[in-house]
Amino acid sequence: MRFTQYDLGFQETGSVVEVALSGTEANVQLLESTALTNYKARRSYQYVGGHYRQSPVRLSVPHAGVWYVIVDLGRYVGTVRSAVRVISPLTMP
């Protein structure tokens, strides 16, 4: 299983995670550490996100905590590059 992992550290409720994708469509998932462990072990887990064909992808952090982003191709073939930035709720207009 190949994937790209981003450690976002502690994020406040309402922060927006923006993921820029280049290349093939991809799965983008925002998850907490327990879910990340389950993802890597191929067990059931909960996340925010899904399969995206257009970029950028914007996901809202549902509650304060330590968060991660995973980008993978799932069963699809191709190549995807990604970049992540977090927009703090304090800097949003």
> What is the C-alpha to C-alpha distance for residues 48 and 80, in angstroms, rounded to an integer?
20
Q: Which residues pair with 50 in a beta bridge?
A: 28
Tell me, what's the pLDDT at 91? 61
The structure's pTM equals 0.90
Query: Using one digit for the tens of pLDDT, what is the confidence trace for 58-89?
Result: 999 999 999 999 999 988 888 899 999 999 87
The DSSP line for 28-54 is EEEE-HHHHHHHHTT-----EEEEESS
Please determine, for residue 50, whether its predicted confidence score (pLDDT) is greater than 80: yes
Q: How many helices (H) and strands (E) does the chain have?
A: 1, 7
> What is the C-alpha to C-alpha distance for residues 23 and 32, in angstroms, rounded to an integer?
26
Query: Using one digit for the tens of pLDDT, what is the confidence trace for 10-38?
Result: 999 999 999 999 988 999 999 999 999 99
CATH numbers and ranges of domains, the chain: 3-87 (2.60.120)
User: Which residue's structure tokens are 């925002």?
Assistant: 30
